[in-house]
Structure formats: C-alpha cells, structure tokens
Amino acid sequence: MAEPTGEETAAQRALAGRLSGLGFALPGTLTRRYTRCGNRTCRCHHQPPQLHGPYLQWTRTEDGKTISRIWTPGQAARYQDWLANARQARQILSDLEKLGTAIAERDQRDQRRQAGQQQRKRPAR
C-alpha cells in the first residue's frame, strides 16, 4: 500500500475539517416553476401567456424515486443554507475521493514497477 505523502495527509485533514464544519444538509435542488392550469379560458393559455407562479419546488431523489414538494418563500429562505451545505458536502467528498484515487493509482504504478524490477533480477537460464 502506498503511504500518503505529508501533503496528501494535510489535504485530507483540511477537507475533513471543512466537512465537520458543515451544519444540517438537505439533498436536492430548489427551482422556480411557472405553470399553466387546466382552465382553457385562463390568462395562462392566452397569447402571450401569463403563467402562474413562481412556485418554489424542492426536488430530490429518494430510493430511486423523484420526490417534489412546493415550498413557501419562508421555507425556501430557512432551508437555503441546508441545500448549500449538501452541495458543499458532495464537493468535499468528491475531493476526498480524488485524493484517495491518486494514492491508489500511485500504489498501482509502484507495484508494477517493483514487479518489473524483480523480473529483471532473476538469473537467465
């Protein structure tokens, strides 16, 4: 196993520190939606259309299913930081994975290099 360098260990500690500083997190996205209703005589069906909204829609995936909820402006303000925390947590985790991948790849190269050197050391028959 390749040992992490001092720089890699410091980077891992910094990322872990950033992760531990996050608060609550909510998965998903918050979007503004404008819609048409089913009433054909409504203003949303005229030209140009005047759509209903904005509706603040929180969408997430849970157990492979998409779940959407309509939020009030108060809810959106209250949970905006939680959504941002989830995005930051995903980015930090991605950075940790990249760091781990770099170490594992370096270990793989070292193993191949060592195997090649051992083959050259064997006496010729």
For 19-61, how does the pLDDT look when each residue is reduced to its tens digit (9 = 90+)? 999 999 999 999 999 999 999 999 999 999 999 999 999 999 9
Compute the distance between CA of residue 59 and CA of residue 16 in angstroms, rounded to an integer. 28
* DSSP letters spanning 93-115: HHHHHHHHHHHHHHHHHHHHHHH
Is it the case that residue 122 has pLDDT exceeding 70? no
State pLDDT tens for residues 74-116: 999 999 999 999 999 999 999 999 999 999 998 887 777 777 7
What's the one-letter identity of residue 58? W
Q: Are 96 and 1 in contact (CB under 8 A)?
A: no
- Distance, in Å, from the CA atom of 61 to the CA atom of 68, rounded to the nearest integer, reads 9
CB of 100 within 8 A of CB of 3? Answer: no
- Per-residue tokens: 108: 């793989």
User: How do beta strands 29-35 and 52-62 pair?
Assistant: antiparallel
Enter the tokens of residue 83. Answer: 């959504």
119, two tokens: 């083959």
Q: Report how far residue 44's alpha carbon sits from residue 50's, in angstroms, rounded to the nearest whole number.
A: 5
